[in-house]
Structure 1
Amino acid sequence: MSTAVPPRSRGRRTRALILDRAVDLFAERGFDQVNVAQIAAAAGAHPNQITYYFGSKDALFVHAAFLMFLRDAARLEPIGRRQRTPAAFRVALSRTALALPSLPAVVEAMSITRRRPELRTLAEQNLTVLFRQAEHYLTAILHRRGWSVDRTPEVEARTFWSAVLGARLIAESGYPGTSADVDVAGVLTVHD
């Protein structure tokens, strides 16, 4: 008796494998140094499957960049939990966020969505996930430590991530300096 995998399950598996391999390749080489054929080969797929599942290399990159970024952003949580004072919390989160390896990729992905309106919903959905996760995390930290913020946790989370993304964008725009020159810790209002 054959236990054939249903086509829909095979399709989900192929799509996930393409995305995973794209994440690896884009993280290693960047957007411009990776082509569809390389991604397909790494995933054991055909190039037309990338078009079928994602529409374009741009769309696949946006998916991959946000997946990398959301995974990296989760790395901030244990770092923040180890901090014992609001000042240490603000500094540790800011420094770590600005050093996330996927930050340049997600800024580039957002740039692509600016030129490709059909991809904006994808960016909006992923930013919504980022902001919600950050809000839930911050709410838990505030409750656990007895700390406060001067605005709602929702606005605090959005402000923080907007400052992080903006700092990277400014640094990449050619303006002298680095993203570390922006006081991202200063936008956080966490206090006793």
Structure 2
Amino acid sequence: MSVAEIANAAGVFPNQVTYYFGSKDSLLVHAAFLGLLHDARRIERIGRQAPDAATFRRNIARAVLAMPSLPSVARALAAGISKPELAPVVDQHLQLLFRQSERFVSRLIDGRGWRARRPLDVEARTFWSTALGAVLLVRAGAHGTVADLDLAGALTIHDEPEPG
């Protein structure tokens, strides 16, 4: 699909697309991460419904690996690797995802008296790095599927008291 076709479908001029997004590839990165952030909001609803931390970890892991946006985000990550000019766009969106996730988990654990065994910024980065890494491996042809990953094990959120 060309920039002209994208612009036509959006009802704008092609130069408006390139002015705001820089390139078609940059637009695709933005669109992929917009889908991911939208999916992440739905995942938050699933997380809020969990009655305990173990259910939270299990439900979040299952839901994230089934997110429809992950394949396009995997392509966006690959684009950021192959086209260095896209790396800042990818990084900007990853930082937004990490901050959004950290805020969500912070509100959740504060409200429920849960705890995490590591700082929440590390918790968010570790979780999403594991999920996105699994998708990249599968998309690159690694044997297995994302279901072969214990993504819930990447979360250290618990509702039991701190050990002695």
Instruction: Report the TM-score, using the length of structure 1 for normalisation.
Output: 0.79
Separation of aligned partners in 1, 2:88 and 2:129: 18
**Structure 1 residue 99 and structure 2 residue 66: aligned?**
yes
Partners of 1:91 and 1:50 in 2: how far apart?
40
| Unaligned segments of structure 2, at least 5 residues | 160-164
Q: Equivalents in 1 of 2:141, 2:100: separation in Å?
A: 31
Find the aligned partners of 1:148 and 1:52 in 2 and give their Cα distance: 45
Higher relative contact order (CA 8 A, sep 6+): 2
Aligned residues: 159
Q: Tell me, in whole angstroms, the C-alpha distance in 2 between the residues paired with 1:48 and 1:125.
A: 23
Alignment of 1:78-89 (within 5 A): 78-89=45-56
Q: What aligned pairs does 1:155-166 form with structure 2 within 5 A after superposition?
A: 155-166=122-133
Larger Rg: 1
Q: Deviations over 1:102-137 (max 9, x none)?
A: 111111111111121122111111111110111111
Once the two structures are superposed, what CA deviation does each residue of 1:13-48 show, in whole Å capped at 9, x if it has no partner? xxxxxxxxxxxxxxxxxxxxx332321111112333
**2: CA distance, partners of 1:77 / 1:115:** 32
Whole-angstrom distance in 2 between the partners of 1:114 and 1:103: 17
Taking structure 2 as the reference length, what is the TM-score of the superposition? Answer: 0.92
Q: Does 1:65 align with 2:32?
A: yes
Q: Which amino acid aligns with 2:134?
A: A
Letter matched to residue 91 of structure 2? E
Asked whether 1:90 is paired with 2:92, we answer: no
RMSD of aligned Cα (Å): 1.2
The residue identity in structure 2 corresponding to 1:101 is: P
Q: Which residue of 2 aligns with 1:141?
A: 108
- 2:52 is the alignment partner of 1:76: no
Identity across aligned pairs (percent)? Answer: 52
